[in-house]
Structure 1
Amino acid sequence: MIPLDTRPLFRRERQALLVLLRSLDPADWAKPTVCPGWSVADVTAHILNDYLRRISGSRDGHGGAVFANDETLPDYLARVNGEFVGAMRQCSPRVLLDLLDHLGPELDRVWAATVDLAGPARLDVSWAGPGTSPAWLDIAREYTEFWVHQQQIRDAVSRRGADDVALTRPVLVTFLHAVPWALRDRVRPGGTAVRFEIIGPAGGCWSVVSDGTSWDLTAAQAEEPAAVVRMDQDAVWRLATRGITVEEARQRSTLRGDPELTESATTLLAVVA
């Protein structure tokens, strides 16, 4: 794994979001987003839900909503997120902005209180594999959540921004932690590497290396990778969040080497689905 400390980025990402939201006119708030059935206002309410959920859980130890009988995690998330967004439709855009502005600094304090980033996460990151996740990955996962939802709002209202290198590269690196899990069924000799080349200002090269039984992400460059995936940075984050399909991502990529490895690597998924 490649440890990241994304805590300093939350404030900057939120400032960009608030500037964007304050510039919208009433028609913009009603525009549809890539999230099925959700408008710009709905996605904003969902971001607020994430703020409240993490403050309540991490700061106050609150357990939150409970699972219904035989409810899977994707079903649970779809239900509770939908319930919150539906209830928040009674609130005006100004109220949503006031709440984000008020709760954001409190959320920053929650992240700052996480002293041991290598310690166990409060919420494991299931798309990175089974077992206990490190705290830094849990926090980085939350950062990607906010950044992606901001991009979805920007797409809906045709506004670019919040995509500079400092804000974007941590998103890409965090999402690459899903590649080892995507390769889990491809058993290869120790030292076998898949190189991921991300094209764009926030891009770079990373390797996912086998130890003979599992795979791990590293910043080291494999001299003779068994497979290479070359993809632009926009395609990477959209693929990871299923803003585009796997096939669309492959069409936007250059794939070389072991076809089984490139096939699996390009199924990376960094959301619960």
Structure 2
Amino acid sequence: MPDTATAIESVRSLGRSQAAMLAEAENERFADLVRSLDGDDWALQTDCPAWDVRAVVAHVLGAMESPVSLREFVHQVRAGGRAAGDRPLIDGITEVQVAERAHLSTSQLVERLTAMAPRAARARRGLPAPLRRMPLRQDVGGVTETWTLGYLYDVVYTRDTWMHRVDIARAVGRPLVLTADHDGRIVADVAAEWARRHGRPFRLHLTGPAGGTFTGGDGGGGEQITLDAVEFCRILSGRGGGTGLLTQPVPF
């Protein structure tokens, strides 16, 4: 029996409540993976060229601590701006997050991450409306875009944590926990944004627990793509190489 395809236009953008539930679940899955790490795992190289596993965890912890404390949020923005220079602000912020947590032991990283994971998800959900509209400039595929802080917190931060969970699992050789209701929803949201960004017809068959079949444009004409769902996201995030429509980046 052929797979039932979903029209990509019918994949709704994440609402605030659903985004909060995905963030809470993803933060906990990330924390679960970090708690499973052994001593030698922390120094293993990830798919992020400048970061080993320890640096990835420090970055994610910093990203979790930012929305919980207004003081920490302001500090990261100001210090990140100075670190970024002419680069996008997000690049400077991530550097600050890693550098300022470099003194923590691995057990301290685990302890703080475990405590922060649920608090961060709640804080992101409770972001006041004026702050949600705060503009942020970011580079995507060589093009400068203006995001809102709400988009960063609701969508990008969850994708970022999810992709870093993939990075760590690949680096240390752990099985990646994937389910259709959680990971599949994140992947579908990525696919929908990818389709909006390139605007061309396609049929996309993503395999694995987080996969699905999606069509866009004329109902399935255009480029035909079959790919593992996680690998699809890795390519769009810049961690893998692609051709054709797979050269369209999506923020993670």
Report if aligned partners of 1:30, 1:39 keep a CA contact under 8 Å in 2.
yes
Residue 141 of structure 1 aligns to which amino acid in structure 2?
A: V
Structure 2 counterparts to residues 87-166 of structure 1, below 5 A: 87-113=100-126, 120=133, 127=140, 130=145, 135=150, 138-166=153-181
2:197 corresponds, among 181, 198, 207, to: 181
Residue 196 (structure 1) aligns with: 204
Structure 2 counterparts to residues 1-273 of structure 1, below 5 A: 2-4=12-14, 5-56=18-69, 63-65=77-79, 67-68=81-82, 71-73=86-88, 76-113=89-126, 120=133, 127=140, 130=145, 135=150, 138-176=153-191, 177-183=193-199, 193-209=201-217, 222-223=218-219, 225-246=221-242, 250=243, 263=244, 265-271=245-251
> Structure with the greater relative contact order (CA < 8 A, sep ≥ 6): 1 or 2?
2
**CA displacement, residues 95-150 of structure 1 (integer Å, 9 cap, x when unaligned):** 1112112222221222332598xx85765786499566694675122111111111
2-side partners of 1:78 and 1:163: how far apart? 28
- Runs of 5+ consecutive residues of structure 1 not aligned to the other structure: 184-191, 210-221, 251-262
Greater Rg by CA: 1
Report if aligned partners of 1:198, 1:230 keep a CA contact under 8 Å in 2.
yes
2-side partners of 1:163 and 1:157: how far apart? 17
Secondary structure of the structure 2 residue equivalent to 1:146: helix
| Amino-acid identity (%) | 20
What is the total number of aligned residue pairs between the two structures?
A: 232
- Runs of 5+ consecutive residues of structure 2 not aligned to the other structure: 1-8
2-side partners of 1:149 and 1:113: how far apart? 24
Using a 3 Å threshold, how does the CA distance of structure 1 residues 102 and 138 change in structure 2: closer, same or farther?
closer
**Cα-Cα RMSD:** 3.3
TM-score normalised by L of structure 1: 0.70
Structure with bigger helix share is: 2
Residue 188 (structure 1) aligns with: none
2-side partners of 1:205 and 1:94: how far apart? 41
1-side partners of 2:216 and 2:78: how far apart? 36
